[in-house]
Amino acid sequence: MHHWHRTYSGEGLKVKKSLLILFLITLMVAVSFGAAAKVKFWHMYLSGPSKEIMDEIIAEFNETNKGAIEVEDLAISFWDYWDKIRVSMAAKQEPDVFLHDLGNVGMRASTGILLDLKPYLLAAGFDPEEVFFEGPLKMCSYEDGIYALPLETDVRLLFYNKDLFRQAGLDPEKPPTTWEELLYYAEKLNVLDKNGDYEVVGFNPLYGQSYFWMYVWGKGEDFITEDGDIVVNSPGIIQALEEWVALINELGLEKLLSFGANFGWGAADAFIAGKVAMGIQVGNFIADLAMYAPDLDYGIVQIPYPVQNATWSNGFSLELSSRSKNIFAAVEFALYLLSDEVQLKLAEGISSLIGNRRAAYQSDLIEDPQWKMQIEALEFTKFRPFILEAPLWYETLQVATEEAIYGTKTPDRALNDAQKLIEAEIQKYKMTH
């Protein structure tokens, strides 16, 4: 007994020791796997069907990746979102994955706070050019990397009121297909009251989401030179502004302004009130029409600009913090959100104009002519080019446009001054960076 005990304890100790070590290793492995990597995700889907869909999407992801990754999301209202995300970045407490403005990804990418997703996309077998629409994808690129993913975007289209068409003797199934037709129809659709003020405006270039830069693109012009510099006073753009101002003057600026002052948004929108026969609006306007004027008989068509169809997009990007503690988990979640299945869900659940092109064409929604038109627009849509040194160049352009419209400056003087201001901005940036 004694003998056995002695030998056993010698070997037993060895066995016990190795068992202990094995147990500890298993425990460590179990604990490290059991502690799921937490991914903080901030978005703006605070209420309604979009909140329900996002909750479902996140829950499914958490279920599939139980124990390995856990996504904690936070919904913030649109109005507060931008301040909150900015402050969180300044406090070095930004979330791992977050929505942001697709129009100025470069601004954040240049500070180093965003994760370059290109290597991860390629490793996961995502060919970005094959999967995403060209316009949105371009906005996600900065220098040689891809710093964001195009989660949601939008387009502008020409909405027209079929009842007003009928009243003016026009065929409601034959919307204008050229710019001349648009102007011709517009004149027929104008209705003036006894003072000569507008009761109904046929085509209101100052209404809705009609912007001068869209007209510039519609004339085949561009704001970027071959060298990649920003230009707002090229001969083509000056001519475009002259035409734009002429159009507004023909309709009467003061009359258009006093007409516009009677309306607002939502139920008080001029088109919804049936006072604008043809107007340019964003695709989401379809939801507004469904809510505030379900009986309004309307149609939508690509905007028939003079030289080529053009439209403008902006949208939300999905970005990742380069300072995240759980980069792989965050990337996993981001790729999930942009995967075909999830994008299909977003498209079908909330008619979101998604960035994933493959999913957009696979969706059943493609049978819906209105959605199909928006997808077609996404193929040729343009975004306002992002200029790192002068990110608000388009506001300077807008002021110049207004100066020309109000007649305080001629179009070429206004645009030349705007170009000088933008170049001064670029110089200012170089002096401080």
Partner 1 sequence: MGRKRSKYFRRKNLAGYLFAAPWLIGLSAFVLAPILATLFLSFTSYDMINAPRWIGLTNYKILFTLDPGFWKALGNTFYYMFGSVFLKVFTGLIFALLLSSALKGMRIFRTIYFLPVVLPSIPVMFLWMMMFNPRSGLINQLLGFIGIKGPLWLNSPQWSKPAMILMSLWGIGGIIVIFLAGLQDVPEYLYEAAELDGANKLQMFWRITVPMIMPVIFFNTVTGLIAASQVFAESYIMTAGGPLESTTFVNLKIYLLAFKDVRMGYASAMSWVMFMILVPMTVLLFRISRRWMDY
Quick check: 360 and 354 in contact, CB under 8 A?
yes
What part of residues 142-171 is at the interface with partner 1 (CB under 8 A)?
A: none
Q: Which of 18, 178, 225, 262 binds partner 1 (CB under 8 A)?
A: 262
Q: Is 32 in the site for partner 1 (CB under 8 A)?
A: no
Q: Is 307 in the site for partner 1 (CB under 8 A)?
A: no
Q: Provide, rounded to whole angstroms, the least separation between the CB of residue 223 and partner 1.
A: 19
Helix (H) or strand (E) holding 161: strand 156-161
In this structure, what DSSP letter does residue 305 have?
Answer: -
Q: SS3 for 284?
A: coil
Q: Which of 108, 156, 345, 382 binds partner 1 (CB under 8 A)?
A: 108
Amino acid residing at 9: S
Q: How many CB atoms lie within 10 A of CB 121?
A: 20
Please, is 254 exposed, middle or buried when counting C-beta atoms within 10 Å of its C-beta (0-12, 13-18, 19+)?
A: exposed
Amino acid residing at 225: T
Residue 81 or 159 having the CB closest to partner 1: 81
Q: SS3 for 315?
A: strand
In this structure, what DSSP letter does residue 66 have?
Answer: T
Q: Which of 26, 77, 178, 408 binds partner 1 (CB under 8 A)?
A: 408
Of 117, 125, 126, 41, the residue nearest 76 (C-alpha)? 41
Window contacting partner 1 (CB under 8 A); options: 28-36, 172-180, 326-334, 402-410: 402-410
Q: Is 196 in the site for partner 1 (CB under 8 A)?
A: no
Quick check: 120 and 152 in contact, CB under 8 A?
no
Q: Is 199 in the site for partner 1 (CB under 8 A)?
A: no
Please, is 426 exposed, middle or buried when counting C-beta atoms within 10 Å of its C-beta (0-12, 13-18, 19+)?
A: middle
Q: Which of 234, 399, 410, 413 binds partner 1 (CB under 8 A)?
A: 399
Alpha-carbon span 23 to 60, nearest angstrom:
33
Q: Which of 11, 130, 144, 254 binds partner 1 (CB under 8 A)?
A: 254
Quick check: 339 and 251 in contact, CB under 8 A?
no
Q: Which of 403, 411, 415, 418 binds partner 1 (CB under 8 A)?
A: 403
Residue 249 or 258 having the CB closest to partner 1: 258
Which residues 6+ apart lie within 8 Å of 276 measured at CB? 161, 200, 201, 204, 207, 208, 270
- Euclidean distance between the first and the last CA atom of the chain, given in angstroms as a whole number: 83
Q: Is 392 in the site for partner 1 (CB under 8 A)?
A: yes
Residue 6 or 194 having the CB closest to partner 1: 194
Q: Is 319 in the site for partner 1 (CB under 8 A)?
A: no
Q: Is 431 in the site for partner 1 (CB under 8 A)?
A: yes
Q: Provide, rounded to whole angstroms, the least separation between the CB of residue 64 and partner 1.
A: 33
Q: Is 83 in the site for partner 1 (CB under 8 A)?
A: yes
Q: Report the sign of the C-alpha dihedral through residues 142, 357, 351, 154, in that order.
A: positive
Q: Which of 122, 246, 291, 424 binds partner 1 (CB under 8 A)?
A: 424
Q: Provide, rounded to whole angstroms, the least separation between the CB of residue 358 and partner 1.
A: 33
Q: Which of 130, 169, 261, 266 binds partner 1 (CB under 8 A)?
A: 261
Residues of the chain by 3-state class (helix, strand, coil), percent to 5:
55, 15, 30
Residue 5 or 428 having the CB closest to partner 1: 428
Residue 123 or 192 having the CB closest to partner 1: 192
Residues at the interface with partner 1 (CB under 8 A): 83, 86-87, 89-90, 107-108, 111-113, 197, 254, 257-259, 261-262, 391-392, 399, 402-403, 406, 408, 421, 424, 427-428, 431-433
